Amino acid sequence: MKPDASDFDLQSALTDWRKLADQALSQALDAIAATPGCPAKLAEAMRYAVLGGGKRLRPALCLAACRACGGDASKALDGAVAVEFVHAYSLVHDDLPAMDDDDFRRGRPTCHKQFGEALAILAGDALLTHAFEFAARIPPAQAAVHLLAQAAGAAGMVGGQVNDVDGQALSLEAVESVHRRKTACMMEASVGLGALAANADEKQTEALTSYAAALGLAFQIADDLLAHEGDASELGRPTDSDQKQDRRTHPRLAGLDASRERVAEIIDEALESLRVLGPEALPLRALATFVARRAEGSIDD
């Protein structure tokens, strides 16, 4: 009998991945702090930004993708560090007064509230810069760096953020475009770096990329559903930013039921993408199923 995603202990796997990622992140931050010329207060702000909680979803995707392609997950830890550094920098900058203007994240003061705006901006800059240092450790380095740059740059995460801040996401199509760039692009980079670390073939890489593109869109719509209903704690983001900025979200434009149906549709696409991969992709299937169940409201926190 084939193992089923619903039987997979995803929470235990997420805990294990988080432990691996946190250890790698801590070691990476220690190495940066020990570099001659690195100001102690900058290193402290970087550590605060990175190690302040979160599920380490992007590192988990990197490690799980590597394993799904038959690779040794430990070889993907540099990729896990790279994507989490980019994610952490983006949150630091998102929280700034010029952006979402949030005072708290994950139950504690945001980086700019703790260290001041100038140092928070610089800590984010440093995290983004060092992300490429760690991505470059995955062979072939040029492909790894290019992949991360495309996902995080002007046509990816940053471009999506620009359209979001400008209020250009006024239709469902526009909202999904923002989600694909702000959220899905970095998930695609996560599985892409994991695939590179496993020396995956083209077919495996394409399957993982399609999976992550769908998962990222579904994840963000589910996130918006939870925020709309006043419970985004599981996904680790403030619950009032969209209302405060008067941003259009999928639930606000389409309604709760239609948004849940859209998540289910996209998750089916994600699962279909994984058909070419073997049983080692079970954790990725379980993660997709988890996102679908969260959107349905069928999981009790």
- Summarize pLDDT for 175-194 with one digit per residue, the tens: 999 999 999 999 999 999 99
Q: Are 288 and 5 in contact (CB under 8 A)?
A: yes
Higher pLDDT: 167 or 254? It is: 254
Q: What is the pTM of this model?
A: 0.91
The pLDDT value recorded for residue 274 is 97
Torsion on CA atoms 260, 261, 264, 266, rounded to nearest 10: -110
- Residue 228 pLDDT more than 80? no
The pLDDT value recorded for residue 235 is 39
C-alpha–C-alpha distance, residues 153 and 113, integer Å? 26
Q: Are 176 and 258 in contact (CB under 8 A)?
A: no
Short-list 52, 68, 47, 51, CA closest to 197: 68
Which residues does 215 contact at the CB level (< 8 Å), separation at least 6?
184, 187, 266, 267, 270, 287, 288, 291
3-class secondary-structure state, position 104: strand
What architecture is domain 5-293? Orthogonal Bundle (1.10)
Q: Where along the chain do its domains lie?
A: 5-293
C-alpha–C-alpha distance, residues 291 and 154, integer Å? 27
Grade residue 239 by pLDDT with cuts at 50, 70 and 90.
very low
How many whole angstroms from its chain centre is CA 41?
Answer: 26
When the pLDDT of each residue in the chain is averaged and rounded to a whole number, the result is 90
How many whole angstroms from its chain centre is CA 106?
Answer: 15
Residue carrying structure tokens 């010329």: 37
- Residue 51 pLDDT more than 60? yes
| Percent of the chain at pLDDT exceeding 90 | 79
The pLDDT value recorded for residue 257 is 93
C-alpha–C-alpha distance, residues 56 and 37, integer Å? 29
